[in-house]
Amino acid sequence: MALTLKHLFAVIMLSGAFSLVSAMLFVVMDAVDVAFTEAAVGAGVSTVLMLATMALTVRVQKETKKPILLPLVVVCLVGVLLIYGTLDMPNFGAFDSPAQAHLGSTYLNITYKDMGIPNVVTGILASYRGYDTLGETVVVLTAGLGVILLLSGLKGRKDKE
Partner 1 sequence: MKHHLILKVITKFMVGVIVLFGLYVQFHGDYSPGGGFQAGVIIAAAFILYGIVMGLENVQKVMPIWFAQKAAALGVLVYALTGVFSIIFGFEFLNYHAISPEHPKHGQHYGIILVELGVGITVTFVMIAIYYSFAGRTPRLDDKEW
Partner 2 sequence: MDSNLNFIFGHLPYWLFIILMLSGLFIVVSRGNLIKKIVGLNIFQTSVFMFYISIGKMKGGTAPILLDKSANNSAVIYSNPLPHVLILTAIVVGIATTALGLALIIKIREEYDSVEEDDIQKMDQKDLMKYNKKNVLETNS
Partner 3 sequence: MFYVATISIVISFIMVLIRLFLGPTLYDRVLALNAFGTLAVLMISIVGFLFGRPDFLDIALLYALLNFIGTIAILKFFRYKEIGDKKALSRKKAQ
119 binds partner 1 (CB under 8 A): yes
**Measured distance CA(69)–CA(50) in Å, rounded:** 29
Please tell me whether residue 60 adopts helix, strand or coil conformation.
strand
Instruction: Determine which residue in the list 2, 6, 9, 75 makes contact with partner 3, applying CB under 8 A.
Output: 9
Residue 123 has φ and ψ, to the nearest 5°, of -60, -45
Q: Which does 17 bind (CB under 5 to 8 A by kind): partner 1, partner 2, partner 3, none?
A: partner 3
15 in Cβ contact with 41 (< 8 Å): no
Sort 123 into a burial class: Cβ within 10 Å, 0-12 / 13-18 / 19+: buried
**Measured distance CA(19)–CA(14) in Å, rounded:** 9
48 in Cβ contact with 40 (< 8 Å): no
Instruction: Determine which residue in the list 70, 82, 87, 151 makes contact with partner 1, applying CB under 8 A.
Output: 151
Please give the residues from 1 up to 40 whose contact with partner 1 meets the rule CB under 8 A: 32-33, 35-37, 40
Instruction: Determine which residue in the list 151, 153, 160, 161 makes contact with partner 2, applying CB under 8 A.
Output: 151
Least distance in angstroms from the C-beta of 32 to partner 3: 6
Residue 103 neighbours by CB under 8 Å, 6+ apart: none
24 binds partner 2 (CB under 8 A): no
Instruction: Determine which residue in the list 44, 67, 85, 98 makes contact with partner 1, applying CB under 8 A.
Output: 44
Residues that bind partner 1 (CB under 8 A): 32-33, 35-37, 40-41, 43-45, 48-49, 52-53, 55-60, 114-119, 121-123, 125-127, 130-131, 133-134, 137-138, 140-141, 143-145, 147-148, 150-153, 158
